[in-house]
């Protein structure tokens, strides 16, 4: 039995990945930039049983996520990823995977990013595959696009690329570069009607999609420069603009994806009020869900959390700073 356990952080995108040029390879329509999170992570143990799995129909891969055994379709996306790893190592072994998130599934933090990053690194290491971080990034991308960014710590850019090997993430700055925080305001725990995987495929049906993509090069440059200069007053407006542009695309695609809930709008208005009336340096971004990520420097976290607690629609608050890339752990989950 070959076993490996890895912890990988989720990430929050400042310039979003939305829409695919190639749904099989998860090739995006543009670059994206994110921060890997220290305090929202997945721990995954992968064990390979070194025996041919001709009988895999009888004894399929065993996958347990947050204590629940995944069967059928729920397991399929992970089995497909395990198949990629098996093909690389040229083996036909059965896998046992146990994975644990330290954050609630419906908290609006991307568990697919940390999950597929941890699965890729643990799975490859347990197979004895020595892949460079860049190759791991390409492989993680096949599982979930945003997972390619969680292969690196700190501030990360995913290069759009044009094929399987060129569409990879690269580190911009390590986590120590800037003590930026993500304060997640959970306003709804309702399950998503449409997953991001489904959403990427319909992005191009929005008349605004092409305009958003065309607007990104200068916005990406602003975000890169603002991170380099640790300048929240330049970063903030750019991330708000792209989050709203992405949701404009979502709302106007076919089918229309309306992820916002009343609480989402309450938090968006509050953030702008705190900035304008109280001078708080806090800005928002929103992923494919109703919850709002508030981005601020460390010294603003206290005042932001205190104000969020006063809002009727905020059910839970999660805080994370920037974190490292995947880390191998000595302690296994089984």
Would you tell me which residues interact with ligand PMV (CB under 6 A)?
Answer: 13, 16-18, 32, 110, 112-113, 144-146, 196-197, 200, 287-288
Nearer to ligand PMV, 12 or 53 (CB): 12
Q: CB 195 → ligand PMV: shortest distance, Å?
A: 8
Q: CB 334 → ligand PMV: shortest distance, Å?
A: 27
Nearer to ligand PMV, 192 or 275 (CB): 192
Nearer to ligand PMV, 257 or 314 (CB): 257
Q: CB 91 → ligand PMV: shortest distance, Å?
A: 27
Query: Which of the 8 DSSP states describes residue 189?
Result: -
Q: CB 272 → ligand PMV: shortest distance, Å?
A: 21
Task: For 198-234, give one letter per residue: b (16+ CB within 10 A) or e.
Answer: ebbebbbebebbeebbeebeebbebbbebbeeeebee
Q: Using CA atoms, how far apart are residues 187 and 332, in angstroms rounded to an integer?
A: 34
**Is residue 293 within 8 Å of 108, Cβ to Cβ?**
yes
- What DSSP element (H or E) covers 297? strand 292-297
Nearer to ligand PMV, 8 or 113 (CB): 113
Q: How many CB atoms lie within 10 A of CB 171?
A: 18
Q: CB 18 → ligand PMV: shortest distance, Å?
A: 6
Nearer to ligand PMV, 5 or 32 (CB): 32
Q: Using CA atoms, how far apart are residues 157 and 228, in angstroms rounded to an integer?
A: 13
Nearer to ligand PMV, 127 or 147 (CB): 147
Q: CB 28 → ligand PMV: shortest distance, Å?
A: 8
Q: Any residues with CB less than 8 A from the CB of 53 and at least 6 apart, and which?
A: 59, 92, 93, 94
Q: How many CB atoms lie within 10 A of CB 130?
A: 8
Q: CB 145 → ligand PMV: shortest distance, Å?
A: 4
Give me the sign of the Cα torsion angle 269, 288, 199, 154.
positive
- Helix, strand, coil percentages in the chain from 3-state DSSP, rounded to 5: 40, 25, 30
Nearer to ligand PMV, 30 or 94 (CB): 30
């Amino acid at each position: 039995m070959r076993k490996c356990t890895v912890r990988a952080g989720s990430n929050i995108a400042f310039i979003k990945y939305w829409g695919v040029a190639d749904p099989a390879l998860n090739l995006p329509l543009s670059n994206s930039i994110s921060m890997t999170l220290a305090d929202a992570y997945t721990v995954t143990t992968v064990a390979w049983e070194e025996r041919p799995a001709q009988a895999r129909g009888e004894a399929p891969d065993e996958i347990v996520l947050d204590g629940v055994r995944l069967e059928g379709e729920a397991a399929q996306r992970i089995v497909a990823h395990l198949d990629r790893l098996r093909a690389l190592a040229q083996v036909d072994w059965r896998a046992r995977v146990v994975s644990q998130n330290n954050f609630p599934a419906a908290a609006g933090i991307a568990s697919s990013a940390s999950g597929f990053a941890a699965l890729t690194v643990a799975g490859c290491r347990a197979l004895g595959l020595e892949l460079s971080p860049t190759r791991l990034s390409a492989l993680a991308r096949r599982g979930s696009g945003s997972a390619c960014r969680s292969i690196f710590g700190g501030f990360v850019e995913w290069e759009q690329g044009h094929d399987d090997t060129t569409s990879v993430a690269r580190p911009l700055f390590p986590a120590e570069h800037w003590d930026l925080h993500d304060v997640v305001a959970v306003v709804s725990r309702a399950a998503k009607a449409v997953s991001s995987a489904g959403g990427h495929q319909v992005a191009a049906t929005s008349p605004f999609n092409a305009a958003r993509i065309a607007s990104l090069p200068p916005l990406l440059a602003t975000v890169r420069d603002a991170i380099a200069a640790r300048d929240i007053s330049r970063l903030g407006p750019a991330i708000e603009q792209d989050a709203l542009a992405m949701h404009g695309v979502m709302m106007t695609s076919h089918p229309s994806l309306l992820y916002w809930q009343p609480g989402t709008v309450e938090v968006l208005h509050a953030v702008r009020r705190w900035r304008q009336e109280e001078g708080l340096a806090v800005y928002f971004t929103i992923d494919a869900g109703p919850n709002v990520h508030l981005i601020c420097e460390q010294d603003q976290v206290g005042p932001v959390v205190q104000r969020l607690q006063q809002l009727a629609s905020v059910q839970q608050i999660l805080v994370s700073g920037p974190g490292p890339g995947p880390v191998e752990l000595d302690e296994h989950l089984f």
